Amino acid sequence: MTGKLIYLMGPSGSGKDSLLRAAREQLESMNCRIAQRVITRSAEATGEDAVAVTPVEFEEMRERGAFALHWRANGLGYGIPSEINAWLESGQHVLVNGSREFLPKALELYPGLEAVLLSVNSGVLSRRLLARGRESLGEIEARMARNSTFRHAEHGTQRALQLDNSGTLDESVKAFVSLVGDAIGSSEG
């Protein structure tokens, strides 16, 4: 039996990391593993359960096939370890924290994936980016502009399940776990 790949995406500051942390136990009880990303920024700055590597280390890993998925966004390299393929083959469901821009390529590689697009209203997004203190004002402006561009372009996201994370974390976790459960259920039925 093959597991289902769930591809979570959304703008920086939309709450993906908080959502994944809060939903982890419920997802694990559904036989759904959360893949740990590899990112070219310091572990302290990631704000997520990620492996931090230098750009040189990232390229070496990419060249030796360590990533099932990899992309660049916001000046950083992101990779999903190739071990997800073994998890999927063993029947485990896998959730990855992906990129909206990379979705078309991810769909080529994993045509059966279920995409979930996390959105948040722009006022909430701006406040969250400022509050986390990870980026400069210029970087926040660039991320807000990138989000605006993605809102007005499809990038394959029209087939994604939509989840608004502008409300409380508890509300979003409940809705997210339900979406994932439905996606997993449809792959098993």
Domain at 5-181, CATH homologous superfamily: P-loop containing nucleotide triphosphate hydrolases (3.40.50.300)
What is the model's pLDDT at position 42?
A: 64
pLDDT, tens only, 8-53: 998 777 888 889 999 999 999 999 999 999 999 765 555 667 889 9
Is 181 annotated to bind ligand? Answer: no
Q: Is 12 annotated as a binding residue?
A: yes
Consult the annotation and say whether 11 binds a ligand.
Answer: yes
Tokens standing for 63?
């060249």
The pLDDT of residue 153: 45
* 78: Cα separation from own chain's centroid: 10
The 3-state DSSP class for residue 140 equals helix
Contacts of 81 (CB under 8 A, 6+ apart): 35, 36, 38, 66, 67, 68
**Is 126 labeled as ligand-binding?**
no
pLDDT tens-place string over residues 135-187:
777 776 776 666 555 554 455 556 788 898 888 899 999 999 999 999 998 66
Is residue 13 marked as binding? yes
- pLDDT for 121: 76
Nearest alpha carbon to residue 48 among 24, 25, 73: 24
Q: Is residue 170 annotated as involved in ligand binding? A: no
**Domain spans in the chain, listed from the N-terminal domain onward:** 5-181
Query: Cβ contacts of residue 37 below 8 Å, gap of 6+?
Result: 48, 50, 51, 78, 79, 80, 96, 97
Structure tokens, 104: 């078309």
Q: According to the annotation, is 10 in a ligand binding site?
A: yes
